[in-house]
Structures are given as structure tokens and as C-alpha cells.
Amino acid sequence: MEPRDLVRRFVDEYQTGADERALDELVHPDVLDHSRPPGVAPGAEGIRQQFNGFRAAFPDFRATILDQVAEGDRVVTRKVFHGTHRGSFQGIEPTGREVEINLIDIVRVADGQIVEHWNCVDRLGLLAQLGALPEVPAGAGR
């Protein structure tokens, strides 16, 4: 399977579909996640931990691929996560708001599995959508 196809399967089957078998098949148990937040387990278990948290907070969680570029063993994916905030998320009680989380992932694939990961997530945009940022008064900063 080409790296691009493998990453697409991961997004569709695991991130959106919550198929644990896809995680086990497509991600190396010792994947090196350069973007792993503090307190999250290393390897594939950390990915599982993060997505279990997302799904608890956003039960209708789904991912949409917007762009994908592949070269050699690396795949860059620009995507958006969608969901409705129905459970606690990072200390923020449910708001019922629909959110979109924009992000870019880079993964390295070897021997048919994702073995390395980097990402850039619009966390500030997510917090704003959840109402977790203070309001800026009109005209402030001028």
C-alpha cells in the first residue's frame, strides 16, 4: 500500500471510524509522536488515549482530508476535525457548540505502518470556538 493510501485509511477508519483494529494495523506500537502533549502515553497507546478523549468530548467526531501531498516515505495531510462539544474537554464543560479544528499532519511510513508523526493544530481557534478565551473589547490593541 502506498504511504498516501495508508494515511487516508488511518484517517477514515481510525480517526473517523474509531476502528481500533485500524490503529493496531496501521500505526507501529512504538510510533514516535513529536507532537505528543505532556501527560500522554508514548507510542500508539498515546494516540489511542488522545482520540478516546476527543471522542468522549466530541462524540460525533470526524476528520475530513482537505489536501494531501506525499513524497517518498512522508505524507503531509491538511485536514479538519469536526464535532459537537458534548463532553468535558481539557477542563471545559460541554457547550453544545459545533467546532472545526484545522491541522496539518506529517507522518513517516515504514514497512506498512506509521512510524513517526508531527502536527500543527489550531488549538487557539478551538479554544475560541468553545468560548474558553476572554472577549477582546472592541478597539483593543489599536
Tell me the domain boundaries of the chain. 3-129
pLDDT of residue 134: 80
Q: Is the pLDDT of residue 43 over 90?
A: yes
Q: Which residues are within 8 A (CB) of 20 and not within 5 positions of it... i.e. 6 or more apart? A: 14, 48
Backbone φ and ψ for 136, nearest 5 degrees, come out as: -95, 125
pLDDT of residue 22: 98
Strands 98-110 and 27-33: unpaired
Q: Which fold has domain 3-129?
A: Nuclear Transport Factor 2; Chain: A, (3.10.450)
pLDDT of residue 142: 60
Q: Is the pLDDT of residue 77 over 60?
A: yes
Paired residues of 102 in beta bridges: 80
pLDDT of residue 140: 60
Do 86 and 16 touch, CB atoms closer than 8 A? no
Give the pLDDT mean for 33-50: 96
Q: Is the pLDDT of residue 19 over 80?
A: yes
Alpha-carbon gap, residue 58 to 73, rounded angstroms: 32
What type of residue is 69?
V
Alpha-carbon gap, residue 99 to 48, rounded angstroms: 21
Q: Is the pTM of this model over 0.75?
A: yes
Q: Is the pLDDT of residue 69 over 60?
A: yes
